[in-house]
Amino acid sequence: MKKLLVASLLLVSLFIAGFSTHAAAADIEIPVVNYHVISYDPEPNNLYQYSVEEFEKQMAYLKENGYSSLSINQYFEILDGTAAMPAKPILITFDDSTDDFYPNAFPILEKYDLKATQFTIADWVNDSQSMTAEEITTVMEKGIDIQNHTSTHPSLDQLSYDEQYNEINDATATLKSITGETTEVFAYPYGAYNDDTLAVVENLGFKGAFTIEGGVSTDEDSRYELPRFMILNGDTLDDFIRKLSTGH
């Protein structure tokens, strides 16, 4: 009788443990925020240019409220269940590697000891409106991940499979020549993609790819349709706080 009771209790314990593990996994939620240009004088009608002053308020809020900024590798380790999730995780991303990042955004990230990921347009590096190769390698040494945002920033859904493949694969090669590292994560220019795009990033072995469709990312999301929410010109600190919770 005692053996039967012990066995029954063991089965119940295993069931509860399995349920708890499943519940914990379902609770993985990581907001992924996306910026473009951080400017001291943003153009009023340009949604993608954002105030330096407002950006610093948001970064200070993250630091003061216990958020843990993630490297891109930490982000995927949490989604894959190979690393524990901090109480308040966040992935901070920027698109395009424009020339404002190094003088305007990067010092603020350093000030608040925050990590970030920069999705870089490979063929634009060293152009007059983009980061230089030297700036890219400098920020990498300070905790900024450099990842793939195509060679020329086309709307991928308008290209053939082969054209998309070349845009992304050539960017990988160009960025590796600058950074010495192979990019493993992708962001869709304009948020545009189709079935061919999904096949390309999978066939090229990317860990994942990001949209700009809004929402908070979870471990249940498709790795090639990971959601991000954008911070746009005119967004207040209250808007930022709301988006951290809702993704919208």
What percent of the chain has pLDDT above 70? 90
Q: Categorize the per-residue pLDDT at 4 as very low, low, confident or very high, splitting at 50, 70 and 90.
A: very low
Q: Are 60 and 176 within one domain? A: yes
Instruction: Check whether 15 has a pLDDT greater than 80.
Output: no
Structure confidence by residue, pLDDT tens digits, 67-119: 999 999 999 999 999 999 999 999 999 999 999 999 999 999 999 999 999 99
Residues 6 or more apart in contact with residue 14 via CB below 8 angstroms: none
* Phi, then psi, of 104 in degrees rounded to 5: -105, -50
Q: Are 91 and 178 within one domain? A: yes
Residue pointed to by tokens 């063929």: 123
Segments forming the whole domain that contains residue 68: 31-246
- As given in the structure block, the two tokens for residue 71 are 């490297």
For the chain, the domain total comes to 2
Q: Are 3 and 109 within one domain? A: no
At 16 the three-state DSSP class reads: helix
pTM over 0.85: yes
Q: Are 168 and 67 within one domain? A: yes
Using a 10 angstrom Cβ sphere, with 0-12 exposed, 13-18 middle and 19 or more buried, the burial of residue 71 is middle
Torsion angle of the four alpha carbons 152, 157, 162, 166, in this order, in degrees rounded to the nearest 10 = 20
CA distances from 204 to 33, 76, 98, 150 (A): 25, 17, 26, 13
Q: Are 19 and 134 within one domain? A: no
Q: Are 12 and 93 within one domain? A: no
CATH number of the structural domain spanning residue 215: 3.20.20.370
What would the mean pLDDT of 11-25 be, rounded to a whole number? 40
Rg (Cα) of the chain, in Å, rounded? 20
* pLDDT given for residue 27 in this prediction: 87
Instruction: Check whether 1 has a pLDDT greater than 60.
Output: no
Give the span between the Cα atoms of 180 and 142, in whole angstroms: 16
Q: Are 107 and 169 within one domain? A: yes
* pLDDT given for residue 8 in this prediction: 43
Nearest to residue 33, comparing CAs of 103, 87, 88, 99? 88
Structure confidence by residue, pLDDT tens digits, 47-64: 999 999 999 999 999 999
* pLDDT given for residue 151 in this prediction: 98
pLDDT, averaged across the chain: 92
Structure confidence by residue, pLDDT tens digits, 192-237: 999 999 999 999 999 999 999 999 999 999 999 999 999 999 999 9
* pLDDT given for residue 182 in this prediction: 98
- As given in the structure block, the two tokens for residue 143 are 């905790």
Q: Are 15 and 76 within one domain? A: no
Q: Are 24 and 36 within one domain? A: no
Q: Categorize the per-residue pLDDT at 168 as very low, low, confident or very high, splitting at 50, 70 and 90.
A: very high
Structure confidence by residue, pLDDT tens digits, 105-139: 999 999 999 999 999 999 999 999 999 999 999 99
* pLDDT given for residue 25 in this prediction: 43
DSSP 228: -
Q: Are 52 and 12 within one domain? A: no
Q: Are 20 and 115 within one domain? A: no
* Phi, then psi, of 167 in degrees rounded to 5: -55, -45
Instruction: Check whether 9 has a pLDDT greater than 60.
Output: no
Instruction: Check whether 179 has a pLDDT greater than 90.
Output: yes
Q: Are 65 and 39 within one domain? A: yes
Planar angle of CA 115, 209, 154, nearest 5 degrees? 105
Instruction: Check whether 6 has a pLDDT greater than 90.
Output: no
* pLDDT given for residue 167 in this prediction: 98
